[in-house]
Amino acid sequence: MSKQFDVIVIGGGPGGYIAAIRAAQLGFQVACIDEWKNEKGGPAPGGTCTNVGCIPSKALLQSSEHFEQANHHFADHGIKVSDVSIDVAKMIGRKDTVVKQNNDGILYLFKKNKVSFFHGRGSFAKAVEGGYEIQVAGSANETLTGKQIIIATGSNARALPGTPFDEVKVLSNDGALRINAVPKKLALIGSGVIGLEMGSVWRRLGSEVTILEGLPTFLGAVDEQIAKEAKKAFDKQGLKIELGVKVGEIKTTDAGVSVAYTNAKGEALSLDVDKLIVSIGRVPNTIGLNVEAVGLQLDERGAIVVDSDCKTNLPGVWAVGDVVRGPMLAHKAEEEGVAVAERIAGQHGHVNFNTIPWVIYTSPEIAWVGRTEQQLKADGVKYKAGTFPFLANGRARALGDTTGMVKFLADATTDEILGVHIVGPMASELIAEAVVAMEFKASAEDIARICHAHPSLSEATKEAALAVDKRTLNF
């Protein structure tokens, strides 16, 4: 007999598990279906983010940063170390522990909030009176019936045509997180978030890293001034980044991978490496969802078509996160998940796409919210800009990391903050102040007038706001 629920969430990633918890808080009887498995075959909710994305990559970035500091920067602090080595297996083991802690934390939250969890693949069976029948294919096959369905099935790594992932030599983000020894030579195709973060990890640990990017500009989505500053830092670190390349034939050999490509000058070149990471974007995941059974509409990219409220073409069916339009960011998925649960309850869920922060967790970190200078120019918006370098920030000097800057963009007439862009230490944390300010329609002057603790990195934010009016105090 089918088990009855008010809300069924298909997918237990950031969008799905958060939607399930919020729906349960609002008094609904909720089920969440997720098929991720740990190495023992048990449930591993959290989706790509927790299992092979945000969380494990940050664990490896932290480990590799410690190694980098010990090898190259401890001496500056009077700390003498010698014969520093890396135990890659131990590092990967720590990463796996961090992942499991997050998996277990989500399962605990389900119990705490009385969300019924089903381990397996969820798919549509048919529409029934007052809702939908959902099949769960797992160790024990089950049938659920829900009045409202939230799809949060995430995305999958995009492969190069004709070059499938084998996760041994040609790696997606999944395989990149399970490399068991430092490769002597490593290539990455794509200089986006995943490419830069994974390239940074293995470069710090001793790999010779080459990043091949098809676009002629570096980090085209980032403010141009910030991207140039970041590129200078990466070049100095030894990351070799080639722009404007056209990748040709890729061959796997006994020794590794051979990549043929044409550079920006039109020269035909070949690169032989031990491993190749392909990070050319992600595609919405609707595999096995059986959308045909109920007539759920997909677009030309394979994403589920939704309106501004995340409603699909079917009554009572919603979709959030990577499987719909918009940026593929875990926190965007979370916000949509909360909003949908509240809309189901008759409330007014809120997601402001203009204030969703973006972060690249390299060193230096890169973070931004709002529009870039090039976007404002293209839109014909009159604006004022202010920048402040971390070189002039006392806390950054004490940390020994003065790379980068904070940049404010404000409306030329009203002074409303239109965008904030940061490259430098702890940019991922500093950007939150800008998000709050923009949500409250703050002006640059508002931030300039707020007292910031001294010494702190956040003073660079205040100074950049002051710079909009050309009155910085420390530069």
pLDDT digits (tens, 9 = 90+) for 142-159: 999 999 999 999 999 999
How many helices (DSSP H) and strands (DSSP E) are in the chain?
Answer: 13, 21
pLDDT surpasses 90 at 462: yes
> Is position 66 annotated as part of the catalytic site?
no
pLDDT surpasses 90 at 192: no
Q: Kindly list the distances between the CA atom of residue 379 and the CA atoms of 49, 322, 327, 334, 407, in Å, as whole numbers in the listed order.
A: 34, 27, 20, 30, 19
| Residue 29: predicted pLDDT | 98
Share of the chain above pLDDT 70, in %: 100
At residue 343, what is the residue type? Answer: R
pLDDT digits (tens, 9 = 90+) for 388-410: 999 999 999 999 999 999 999 99
Task: Assign 139 a pLDDT band (cuts: 50, 70, 90).
Answer: confident
* Cβ neighbourhood burial of 344 (10 Å; 0-12, 13-18, 19+): buried
pLDDT digits (tens, 9 = 90+) for 286-328: 999 999 999 999 999 999 999 999 999 999 999 999 999 999 9
- For residues 273-277, average pLDDT: 98
Average pLDDT of every residue of the chain: 97
Residue 450, C-beta contacts closer than 8 angstroms, at least 6 positions apart: 462
Token pair listed for 471: 């009155």
**Measured in whole angstroms, how far is the alpha carbon of residue 65 from the centre of its chain?**
19
- For residues 192-204, average pLDDT: 93
pTM of the model: 0.96
| Residue 176: predicted pLDDT | 94
Task: Assign 195 a pLDDT band (cuts: 50, 70, 90).
Answer: confident
pLDDT digits (tens, 9 = 90+) for 80-135: 999 999 999 999 999 999 999 999 999 999 999 999 999 999 999 999 999 999 99
Q: Kindly list the distances between the CA atom of residue 2 and the CA atoms of 125, 141, 290, 449, in Å, as whole numbers in the listed order.
A: 12, 11, 18, 60
Catalytic residue, candidates 72, 73, 350, 454: 454
| Residue 104: predicted pLDDT | 98
Share of the chain above pLDDT 90, in %: 98
